[in-house]
Amino acid sequence: MFNTIEDLTLYLKKHPTKRYAFRDTSTVDRIVIHQTDSEDMGDFSPYYTANYHVDNNDWAGIGYHYYIIDDGTIYQTNPDNVISYHASGYNSRSISVVITGLHRCSATDENYEILNDKKYNALIYTLAKLSNRYMLPSSAIIGHTETGSPKSCPNLNMDQLRADVKKKGYKWWEENSLSLCA
């Protein structure tokens, strides 16, 4: 089971002059899932993505709130109250979670065949924790492509992911309900 989410919010590259706006987190009504479309680089992955978002996209910082790499490590890359750039039309009301990879899926693929167990279980854990923190049903978990984006991101079976979060995630919540206030 996962014990921590490592906080990198103070260490990732930020734009020298631009800053993201802040929000009251009571407005969060969605969790948007992304994939990096780049190879996993282990612990360096969030740093690479932050550099890319600042240097190439001219953003204030990394676009994601949570970042999951192949070994199942979960990083927090923005505070939840930051309105980052990740899904046009959803930024002010959503939390973003990204997984590393260049994977693609078809309608019949199982998510455990697309992602390794550690990464997929870390994704379910993160989504369950956020769903419970913001009292969101599993239907509030959407893929970037479901926001109207032409990208196929996150290239997962989203119906299966929502079902797995509901099934396994809420079981996790029931077993660990005292630790959710943190």
Domain presence at residue 1:
no
Q: Which CATH number is 143's domain given? A: 3.40.80.10
**pLDDT (mean) for 20-25:** 98
The pLDDT > 90 percentage for the chain reads 80
Q: What is the pLDDT of residue 81?
A: 98
Identity (one letter) of the amino acid at 120? Y
Domain that holds residue 143: 6-176
Q: How many CB atoms lie within 10 A of CB 174?
A: 9
Q: Is the distance from CB of 123 to CB of 130 less than 8 angstroms?
A: no
Q: Is the distance from CB of 2 to CB of 70 less than 8 angstroms?
A: no
Q: Mean pLDDT in the chain? A: 90
Domain presence at residue 181:
no
Domain presence at residue 182:
no
- Total domain count for the chain? 1
Q: How many CB atoms lie within 10 A of CB 52?
A: 16
Tell me how far apart the alpha carbons of residues 82 and 60 are, in angstroms, rounded to a whole number: 11
Alpha carbons within 13 angstroms on the beta-carbon side of residue 45 total 26
Which tokens hold the place of 31?
């969790």
Q: Which pLDDT tens digit goes with each residue over 119-178?
A: 999 999 999 999 989 999 999 999 999 999 998 899 999 999 999 998 876 554 444 444
Domain presence at residue 73:
yes
Regarding predicted confidence, which is higher, 135 or 4?
A: 135
Q: What is the pLDDT of residue 180?
A: 40
Domain presence at residue 11:
yes
Q: What is the pLDDT of residue 103?
A: 85
Lowest mean pLDDT: which of 29-33, 79-83, 174-178? 174-178
Q: Which pLDDT tens digit goes with each residue over 34-50?
A: 999 999 999 999 999 99
